[in-house]
Amino acid sequence: MENLISKAEIERDTAEMLIGNTFVGLLMTVFAFSGLVFFFESTTPAIQTQKTYVWGFVLVVVLARLTDALYWRFKLHGTQYNPTFPLFRFSIGLYVTGSLWALYSVLFYAHMTTIELAATMVVLSAMAGGAGTVLSPKKPLVTFYSTALLMPMSLCAIFHQQGDFYILGVLGIIFWFGIFSSAFRYHRFFINTLHLKASNNRLMEQMEVERTETQKINRLLVSTNEKLDSANANLESEVERRTAELFRLSNKDPLTNLLNRNGFLKLLNQQIQRTSTSDNSLALLFIDLDGFKQVNDSLGHKVGDIVLKEVARRLCAYCEEDHLGRWGGDEFVATIPYATVETAKTIACAIRNGITVPITAEDNHLSLDATIGIAICPEHANNALDLIQQADLTMYDRKRKQHGTVGVFNEALHDEIKRQQWLSESLKTAVTNGELCVFYQPIINVSTNQISSVEALLRWKCGDQFISPATFIPLAERGGLMPELGSWVLNRALIDLSHWQFDSKLCISVNVSVAQLLDDSFFKILDTALETTKIAPERLFLEITESVFASDTQLVVKQVQALVARGVKISIDDFGTGYSSLHRLQSMPFNFIKIDRSFVQNTSEESDTIIRATILMAKEFGCQTVAEGIETEQQRQHLSALGTDFLQGFYFAKPMPASHLSTWYNENK
């Protein structure tokens, strides 16, 4: 059958099939590529940016191929046209598309999660399987496209260092062989079909016509090859230009035009090497904006972007532009070559002053500040990552203590941070390791001079060390452990209360954190504890600090009302030192106000005025007062005379274990 149909007719029919199916193939390419780029979260913003650029280039190629396909459909389809050029353009588009798939697989393989990797392999296999059928009329096309889709990812999986995805790579190569086998079978079927279709017409043609047509095709092929060589040269030049542009973009932050994290690390490594060679010093500043999150949340990202660009512009006034970088979000980094500690602190303070100048954005006048951590090379570290980490830790420590300040790294800070990290990790297992216990401190009724309740206080012994609550409670709050610790204290306190052979009216007071109060499982834990210990809800006082008022007020009020409905008593702890207001107190049902020890210890008239006002306000709200921090007889008499209902402090008893409380009770009842 080889002489029954000309090559031109084969190419024409090939063009009919290949270009006719272009639209579906382009649609699948866009959907598949978009899904892989945007459905999965990248490990870093830089990787996501690179993916987006590759995706954008894919869109450009798809639009070009779509334009060519539309031109073929509306201008050439149904006419006597030369299929060589449409096939040539189609082939170029397919080669570029396949190359982009291969580039995506190799460039981002190391940054894919397991699910993303599996999904990518499935998508590439599906695309390659479809191409094996659709592109079968052209062996080079199906060979290149299937190989470009499957082989790079499969080889990456096979040669992955950990070998976790070796089987995926093997399956990919096996699937690749299967596609080839099917594609060549389809190719033979396609050619045979064309021969059968044209057999009647070709039997009537003369040999001279065939020879003339063959010569014409040869001339066209020569011309096409020449143009292909020229196009390849232009394509190589364009690829080089695009590569250079991508390299530039991969090292720059698109919003501020400062160095991004990747670019800054390269710069810092170079500067550290030069510093080491010349025996000089280098200062690294880690700059975090204070108040930017509120701007972003309240005014939107558009205003936030304007602020970040203005801050970047101002930073350029204090150090060279190529020594600046945006580390991420509202964090910036800068290097100051040949700088001493004093020089670095001076420049950091100048940067702070520059940032505090109000910024106008979209008719909004905004005031920000900055907290800055400084690390010196080689005094503190001689490699990039350690230097950045030390400056970052210093910034974080300064922000924790006081926003809008400048700090310099030191070993004491490093040791303290390591201790904080060790305590944070140890606290996670403190319950299971049996390191926690509850101490109890009596609360005395002023009118009867008898114990009315006890406050449960959490204590932690980590190894041989007793860790102060002032140390581990903030760690628990930052680590999200307060719901777990609070539930443990609540259960332990109610169990101890149920075992004591005291007055049946003795109540127990347990502190409840904001996180615990707003936790979804809080009420289930509370109800279970009350039911299992058979403690009446009226004997349980829950102490809530004023910090709850800084949270969602409506939700807090709803939760407290649910507690009151159960019969549980509510106490406002550390009153007068936090967020309270008369409006909030009016909307919040409570039974006790605890006067903070700072007012009790202060013997000034101003403190007495605050105490009297608190007692008066408590009476107006129909609740009682508890004065904390009573340490002397004089303080006991004074607070009693002022009209407080209950007293608590070292004067009566220090916090003690449950076993000691029985002895104390029997001796003092």
Q: Which of 336, 337, 334 is nearest to 274 (CA)?
A: 337
What pLDDT sits at residue 541?
94
DSSP 76: I
The token pair that represents 451 in the structure block: 């114990």
Q: Which residues of the chain have pLDDT under 50?
A: 1-2, 579-581
Q: Which of 530, 529, 587 is nearest to 561 (CA)?
A: 587
Question: How far out from the chain centre does Cα 159 lie?
Answer: 30
What pLDDT sits at residue 199?
62
Instruction: List the alpha helices (DSSP H) in 357-509.
Output: 384-401, 411-428, 469-478, 482-499
What pLDDT sits at residue 46?
85
Place of tokens 């699937």: 175
CA distance 457 to 462: 16
What pLDDT sits at residue 331?
94
Asked if 438 and 458 touch (Cβ cutoff 8 Å), the reply is: yes
Angle of helix 84-108 relative to helix 114-134, nearest 10 degrees, comes to 160
What pLDDT sits at residue 624?
93
pTM reported for the whole predicted model: 0.51
